A and B are shown apart, each in its own frame.
Chain A
Amino acid sequence: KQEVTQIPAALSVPEGENLVLNCSFTDSAIYNLQWFRQDPGKGLTSLLLIQSSQREQTSGRLNASLDKSSGRSTLYIAASQPGDSATYLCAASSNTGKLIFGQGTTLQVKP
């Protein structure tokens, strides 16, 4: 059974800092790994999807990496801004397409 863990649960950083969010999964037979952002009281916004054959994906200040052999993914945020404050969720996709989510990392970027 796939289990997804995110560390840390919460993170507070000053504006401008580069930071890394961690995601680990127990079953390496994933189809893809997706990173989402969730603002309070809102739905999920897809940030990046890394296919199982890929090692990383980049979008703007975001870079996500995937290492299936070690069961890890990281989300790197460069030059953080207060608007980046949100909860970040990673999710591993199984062969049926369903996503198994981690518990999330709540990020606060202080001006």
Chain B
Amino acid sequence: GAGVSQSPSNKVTEKGKDVELRCDPISGHTALYWYRQSLGQGLEFLIYFQGNSAPDKSGLPSDRFSAERTGGSVSTLTIQRTQQEDSAVYLCASSLVGAGSSYNEQFFGPGTRLTVL
């Protein structure tokens, strides 16, 4: 079956512009996660969705970052007024079950490479 998909695969933007990154999880997966991977910081958790609600937003680095999930499926990560330090690969993952389960195996998408000039 289809895996996690993300779009766009690459995004180049100018400092100060807003960007939207999209994630389509595996069908039927209730939990969705956003992470980002940068050279200096490795892989960092950003936000977790269970259904359409986000019980854990602790990894969002600033109020310029927001995310939503609709219909228990597609999620969008929005970065407002982008800065050069936002340049990274943004990865989305989904799992069949969410928090509290020892079997929430997460499956990752290919990522969106964001470059802020």
Complex formed: what's the CA distance from A98 to B99 in Å?
A: 8
Contact of A51 among B33, B99, B102, B111 (CB under 8 A): B102
Beta-carbon contacts under 8 Å, A38-79 to B: 42-46, 49, 51-53
B107 close to A46 (CB less than 8 A): yes
Q: At the interface with chain A, which of B41-49, B64-72, B74-82?
A: B41-49
Question: Which residues of the partner chain B approach A53 to less than 8 Å between Cβ atoms?
Answer: 102
B105 close to A31 (CB less than 8 A): no
The reply to whether the CB of A97 lies closer than 8 angstroms to some CB of chain B is yes
Complex formed: what's the CA distance from A89 to B35 in Å?
A: 14
- Interface size bucket, B side? 20 to 34
Binding site for A on B (CB under 8 A): 4, 31, 33, 35, 42-45, 48, 55-56, 58-59, 91, 93, 95, 98-111
A32 close to B102 (CB less than 8 A): yes
B103 close to A49 (CB less than 8 A): yes
A51 close to B103 (CB less than 8 A): yes
B103 close to A96 (CB less than 8 A): no
Question: Which residues of the partner chain B approach A95 to less than 8 Å between Cβ atoms?
Answer: 99-100
A98 close to B59 (CB less than 8 A): yes
* Given known A-B contacts A49-B105, A51-B102, A101 and B42 have beta carbons under 8 A apart: yes
Residue among A46, A95, A97, A99 with most chain B CB within 10 A: A97
B107 close to A98 (CB less than 8 A): no
Question: Which residues of the partner chain A approach B33 to less than 8 Å between Cβ atoms?
Answer: 97-99
B91 close to A34 (CB less than 8 A): no
Residue among A44, A51, A101 with most chain B CB within 10 A: A44
Question: Which residues of the partner chain B approach A103 to less than 8 Å between Cβ atoms?
Answer: 42
* Given known A-B contacts A31-B104, A46-B105, A46-B106, A97 and B111 have beta carbons under 8 A apart: no
Complex formed: what's the CA distance from A100 to B7 in Å?
A: 24
